[in-house]
Amino acid sequence: MPSSLDWWRSAVIYQIYPRSFADGNGDGIGDLPGILHHIDYVASLGVDALWISPFFKSPMKDFGYDISDYRAVDPIFGTLEDFQAVLGAAHDRNLRVLIDQVWNHTSDQHSWFAESRASRDNARADWYVWADPRPDGTPPNNWLSTFGGSAWAWEPQRQQYFLHNFLVSQPDLNWYNPEVVAAILATAKFWLELGVDGFRLDVVNFFTHDRRLQDNPPRPPDLPRPAGATASDPFFDQLNLHNLDQPSTLELLRSIRQLLDRYGAIALAEISSTEDALLTSSAYVSGEERLHTAYNSSLMTDEPLTVQRLTQLIERVESLFTDGVICWTAGTHDFPRLKSRWSKYQPSEAFLQEAFDHLFAALLLSLRGCCCLYQGDELGLTQADIPYEKIQDPFGLQGYPQVLGRDGSRTPMPWLKAAPAAGFTDAPEPWLPIPIDHYAYAVDAQEADPNSLLQKYRRLISWRNQQPALRQGTMRVLRLSDDRLLGFVRACEQQGLLCLFNLSPATVYCDRSELPPCEPIGETVFSDRSYHDTLELPPFGVYFARLG
């Protein structure tokens, strides 16, 4: 098994979005005491770590991703003592804790920005990205914000524009300034000294920009948009060559890695809005002077899961991540729920939808690398349809109705099937409405059902933790004659495993001569029927076997 220092290489990480996990004080918004109250639930999943999305002081214009004080807990979520209680309880249960760090930008209400915007000659004048207007007074170039419109905003006090790759209220820090880097590392050290086990780093590939501020070229009409990009999103009308994915960002990773290594901590990087998510991700985790692991949108696109697509994806990961680790992620707070992305490509029968959910759980936990499970995906929650008058997400409000935003995947966690607000809060109304159909997926209902998706995740994670081949083994995709079957071998010195998945709603028969010699494993509770020379897999069936 991997040493404790290498735990992250095959970790299962559970993401908690605090606003929507559990409300501990009855105000309708999830908080740190709510997490503490349900920490045993997280531990019961058998995961290795939890990633907690931002709980820092913020005006909440982007719900915590606009930080006004990196070292303070926002009162909405509780106190620093509340966080320390969560950290201690997690460690008592052998759970490591990663916290979100948003280092690309701050809130415009951060004291750093208040000083920087005041003049061109103060102590923090160069802490953010400032630029003079063009001769006609327009922004310095044509860069676009990912949230829509120009990436530049005018500041009357300085008579200059500042860069904001996201909301206008989220000015970008200037990572070319060594004082900024030192201040960020000091912030990181503050949390590491408190005992956190690492960070999830928000939009790492945006940290630096082309200092010449060159215009981005338009996207050629025949060039496909990146995976996950919608046709209605103007950000990808350009080739974003100069506003992100700069080589200079990779050079900055060394000092981050060195600090983390001193504390035995890790970094999980988010790679966002890039042309080639896999290629960029692999660069950020290549070698021991960059980050530990990274996730991207490869499994979060709105297209069916086919054997051809998965084979190409797995084989490309194997070719790119030769010495780094990918974090396989199929859902986060920023993407539509995985259940709804793929259910429309499956037959409408409930039992087949359920079979697919169970298959995907087995697939995610069998891939080489670590993986991340977003709260509620273990319950099979669907994407919520939020009416306009209830939308909270600024991205959704700005883009409505073409862009519906991220609220649909951020609705509160259903804990109790028969309770008001599904047991999430005692308040008359939660901060986002809970869909009626989510009550049936509640934790207490699934804990009472041994065949539920939640129970399947628990058994699978427990079983995975006992398989050396899945924790540290190599990966080799099999070429099978039936294009409905995805097969691969995970192998290490102690063990070899065959992993076979029927990605179709029909029963599939596989000739055993196409498979390596193996014996079935029964403890994962997946069904199959074996004959002398034929293996039968039911619709969306899964088969695990030990290599002979």
Active-site residues: which are they?
202, 270
What is the number of residues in the chain?
Answer: 548
**Strand 508-511 relative to strand 534-537: parallel, antiparallel, unpaired?**
antiparallel
Look up residue 103 and give its two tokens: 């280092």
Report the distance separating Cα 428 and Cα 413, nearest Å: 16
The CA-atom distances, in angstroms, between 525 and each of 189, 253, 543, 544 are 45, 43, 10, 10
Integer-rounded Cα Rg, in Å, for the chain is 24
**H helical segments located in 159-306:** 178-194, 247-262, 277-284
**Residue 487 forms beta bridges with which residues?**
500
Residue 51: partners with Cβ closer than 8 Å, 6 or more residues away: 13, 14, 15, 16, 98, 99, 100, 200, 268, 372
Report strand pairing: 69-73 vs 496-502. unpaired
If one counts every other C-beta atom within 10 angstroms of the C-beta of residue 44, the result is 15
What CA–CA distance (Å, rounded) separates 545 from 492? 14
C-beta separation of 486 from 503 below 8 A: yes
**Residue 333 and residue 295 in contact, taking contact as beta carbons nearer than 8 Å:** no
Please tell me what DSSP assigns to residue 398: H
